[in-house]
Structure 1
Amino acid sequence: MTEYQRIDDKMYLNYISFHNSFEVRKPPKFALDSTLVNMPGGYYLLHFNNPVDSLTAINAKNYDILYQQERFKIEKIEVFRDSVRLFGDAEFRKALNNTRGETTALINKRRTNEVENMFELGIENVRDVYGNLVNEPDIHEYQQFREFFTQRIKPNSRAPFDGQFMDKEKPLFEDQPMVKPKDYREYWMNTPLQEKIN
C-alpha cells in the first residue's frame, strides 16, 4: 500500500507498506540417524532420533531394501524403542553371502564409498510416537510487515559535487561514505514509537 502527498505541482511518496509471507524449512522432527547392514545376520538396522510408532514401523510396505541396485523382499521386522531391524528374504541373505568377501576386500582397501553405494534403503510413512512423519521437513510460516514513512521532504536538495554517494548494497549506517545530518536525532529508525527525549 502506498500514499503520496502533493508539494507544489509534484507528488512525493509519503508512506509505503509491505506485507510478505514466507516459509522457513527446519530439519525434520523425526529422522533416520544411522543405518547399519549386518551381513552375517542378513538385516538392516535403522536408528532413529525419536522412539518409533510400532504400528507404522512394523509395516513392510513402508520400506525398500536394495543391494547392488536389486530390490529384495522383507521377511521379518523387529521394532525396538528407537530402532528397527529389517530382515531380508532368503535371496537377500544369499546375495550378501555371495559377495561378503568382495565387500570385506573393499573395506580393507578403504574404499568405503563403493561399499556404501552397494546398499540402499527407502523409507516412508513411518512415524514416531509423537505422530511426526519420518524425514518430513518442519515448515514454519511467518508474516513480515515493513513500513516506510517520509518524515521530511526537501524538494530543493542537490547532490554534493565533491562527495561520494551511498553504497545501496550496505545498511544505512554501516561504513557509508556520508555524514549524519545535524538533526539526525529527529529521525525515527525502525519504529514510530520512539521514547520522548527531554
Structure 2
Amino acid sequence: MPKTESLNEVVINAKEKKKLSAWQIVKKAITLIEDNHPIKPFSYIGYYRDYQFVDEEYVNLNEGIVEVFDQGFRTHKISDPLNNTALYSYKLNPNYIQDTLLSNAVYNTSKQIRAGKMGSSINNELTLLDIHNPIRNFNTGSFSFVYILEKDFVKNHKFYNQGIVFLDDEELYKIQFSSKQNLAGNNYTANGTIYVAKDDFSIHRFNYKLFSNRPRKLVFNINIEYKRQANNKMYLNYITFNNNFFITENDALKIESSFYDKNRGSFIIKFNRAIAKESLEKSNNVKLAFNDKNLSIHRLNLTSPKTVEVKFKNQISDFLNNQNAVDRAFFDLKLKNFEDILGFTMGKSKIEGYQFRELFVQRVFVDRKSPGNLNYLNKGKSLRHAPLNAVDINDYWLNSPLKQIKESKFD
C-alpha cells in the first residue's frame, strides 16, 4: 500500500575544484599528446601545394595529391624509414606566374631567411613542412622558440587564458602566448594561440608567428589544426607554414652576355631572368655606342624570355659590318627602365617575398600501414624529381584558387 515517509535532509559538501592556470593547461595538454594522438600506424590523403608570394603576385604554384603514412606518435617523423609519403599527382599550375630562376633560387641554398640559412640540405618542401610541426614532433624538435615542445615550449613563453570557445559543441580553452623577452632579446619576438579541449586536454589548434624587430618583419608563420576522428584520437586536419625569404644580389636581374651578331645585323643582350615586355616599348631604354659613336636604334625585340635583340636601320648595320664589331670591348651599353617579369629592376640588390607550404587533409585512415607496392618520396630531394604513383584520385580535389593578400596581413 502507498505510504508517505519523512526523510532527514541530506547535505553534500564538495571542495571547489582548483582552476588551472594557462601554463598548467598547456603543460597538461603536452603531457597527454601520446594519449590523445595515434600511436599505431595510420595514413591520410591530402592536397599539398607550395608557392612564393612576391610583390602581390603568386609565383610558381606547385600542387598535388599525397598520401602520408605515419607509424604513430612514438616514432620519429623524419628518420623512421617506415614514415613515408606517396605522391599521386604533382604539377606546376600554368595559371600563375612561372619564374625558373626564382624557383631554383628559393629551392636551394640561395634562399635565406632573417634568422639565417634555412633548409640548405633539404630540398623537399613537404619534408620542411613536416619538420615544422611541433605537435607531431613534440619530443624531438621543430623551430625557434618552441624547440622541443615537451621540454622547452612552456618555459620559453608566457601564457594568457582568453576564456572558453566552442568548436563543434566542444569546449576549448583559448590560450594566447608570447615569447619571454630574456629569451628572444630585442631582435625577435614571437606570439601565438593554442586551443586545448577542456575535457581531455587535446590540442585542436596551434598558431605561431616569429618576427624580427629591426626592422619589424615576419620571419615565419605556422597554423596547425588537429581534428577528432571516430576512434576519439586527434589527426592532422591542415598545416600551413610560410617564411620570409630574400635572394642575394647574385640572383638579381643582370646582363649575362652581350655581343654583335653580324649575320643578323643586330646587337644581342642576354639576361639571367625573363624580361618584361614593357621594358621594350621604348627604344631609348637602350643606349648603345661603338667607339664613342652613338648608334641610332630602330626597335627592340624579345627573341626569347631572357634575350633582347637591338635592331638598327640598314646604314647602321652596314657600318658595323665593316668594322671590327665582334669585339665587345668597342661597345658601350647602358640600359634604363628594364625589369624582369616580377617587376625587379636592374638596380635592385635583392628579391624578397614569402614562401608557402600547405597541406589540407581530405581523408584519414585510422588503421593503415604503408604498402610495399608504392613508390615513396626521397625526404631530402625536391618533389619535382619524385616518382608518381598510378592511383585513382578522382575523389580528391585540387584547390588552386588563392586570395590576393598583402604583406600587412602578417604584421
Q: TM-score, normalised by structure 1?
A: 0.47
Q: Which has the larger radius of gyration?
A: 1
Q: TM-score, normalised by structure 2?
A: 0.24
Structure with more relative contact order (C-alpha pairs < 8 Å, separation 6 or more): 1
